[in-house]
Amino acid sequence: MSIKNHEEGMQYRYLGNSGLKISVLSLGTWITFGGQLTPEQATEIVKTALELGINHFDVAESHSGGQGEIDLGLALRNQKGLRRSDFVISTKVFWGGKGPNDRGLSRKHVFEGTVACLQRLQLDYVDVLYAQRPDPDTPMEEVVRAFNWCIDKGMALYWGTSEWPAYMIVEAMMIAKQLNLIAPITESPQYNMLNRERVEKEYCPMYSQFKLGICTWSPLASGLLTGKYNDGTIPPFTRLAIQDHPVINRLRVGYYSEEGRRKLEKIKRVCELAHRMKCTPAQLAIAWCLNYPHVTSVIIGASTPAQAIENIQALKIRSQLTEEIMQELEKLLANKPEPVFDFRKS
């Protein structure tokens, strides 16, 4: 297919210490694909994303019990003239089922989980295979060897981690170096105006030491930063209105807490700033994430093509984030992490 870029022009960055280029905005599938969207709607959103210049699509074996991978694979196959080199796809293994060996990062589950992912996606390989969470019960050497085995067999081209503590990423890097194996090239953490500590503090020493890539998720804090919850209620058909989902249930409890109310007061002020900048709060929140120099790509979600088009405008808003605007944001957020003292430079 002919991929036409948005008028602002999508930007592409190398993912970590690799030669792989991905768009600075990526399309994620959690909750939407296989859940809120029909396969036909998913196909339209993927089409819009590609036309806007997005080339990176992120999914996981745990998304809607695997249905997210099925629907994403179908949506990509439905794009006329789309070549495999036109898109980069990442999936994650960790939560694959209820059996004793259906979760975690044992060599058995990494292998079997990846095979199942590829079957659902109907692809020969994925570009990036993630360890979706750390597994303290599996020796790190086994984890590193398992992901390298998948790479050696052509099931994946690279591997990465998601929500791993820094010390475990360093351990994986060191073991890979000792054994002459491929190290993880990227980490995928939560990052937004309300959750900054890990990306801006804990991971700081690794950016220069390992050239670690960062593909962040939840730039809108599950919709809080859009302002749709500012009046203290949860509107129907929104993410927090979803029932019987363990993650959403925890988020909803947090929303009604005292800390949640304090966050809403900050969000109201962010919304006021967005209004002055003549953009949506969502666009401002995504642009803010993009503005952090060590972020490679921001994973966004979309439930309609129009929402994808709206979110892409964050590229334009980013150029409006002057030093004065950033200082104003820092003042109202009041949550900037303290810098890490690097003993190597002392």
Q: Domains, the chain, ranges and CATH?
A: 13-221+286-315 (3.20.20.100)
Based on DSSP, count helices (H) and strands (E) in the chain, helices before strands. 13, 10
Q: How many CB atoms lie within 10 A of CB 339?
A: 9
pLDDT recorded at residue 165: 98
Longest dimension (CA), the chain: 57
Q: Rounded to an integer, what distance in angstroms lies between the CA atom of residue 25 and that of residue 50?
A: 11
All residues at 6 or more sequence positions from 263 whose CB lies less than 8 Å from its CB, including other chains: 194, 224
275-328 pLDDT per residue, tens: 999 999 999 999 999 999 999 999 999 999 999 999 999 999 999 999 999 999
Q: Rounded to an integer, what distance in angstroms lies between the CA atom of residue 192 and that of residue 170?
A: 24
What percent of the chain shows pLDDT beyond 70?
A: 92
Residues 303/37, Cβ–Cβ less than 8 Å: yes
65-77 pLDDT per residue, tens: 999 999 999 999 9
pLDDT recorded at residue 174: 98
pLDDT recorded at residue 222: 86
In this model, does residue 260 exceed pLDDT 90?
Answer: no
Instruction: Specify the higher pLDDT residue, 252 or 296.
Output: 296
pLDDT recorded at residue 241: 66
User: Which pLDDT band holds residue 7 (cuts at 50, 70, 90)?
Assistant: very low
pLDDT recorded at residue 6: 44
Residues 194/217, Cβ–Cβ less than 8 Å: no
Instruction: Specify the higher pLDDT residue, 271 or 36.
Output: 271
What percent of the chain shows pLDDT beyond 90?
A: 82
pLDDT recorded at residue 59: 98
Q: Rounded to an integer, what distance in angstroms lies between the CA atom of residue 316 and that of residue 195?
A: 23
The DSSP annotation for 153-207 comes to: TTSEEEEEESS--HHHHHHHHHHHHHTT-PPP-EE--B-BTTB-HIIIIITHHHH
Phi then psi for 271, rounded to 5 degrees? -65, -40
Strands of 209-296, DSSP E: 213-216
Q: Rounded to an integer, what distance in angstroms lies between the CA atom of residue 235 and that of residue 244?
A: 17
pLDDT recorded at residue 147: 98
Cβ neighbourhood burial of 62 (10 Å; 0-12, 13-18, 19+): buried
Q: Is the dihedral of CA 122, 125, 127, 129 positive or negative?
A: positive
25-49 pLDDT per residue, tens: 999 998 899 988 999 999 999 999 9
* First-to-final CA distance of the chain: 53
pLDDT recorded at residue 233: 76
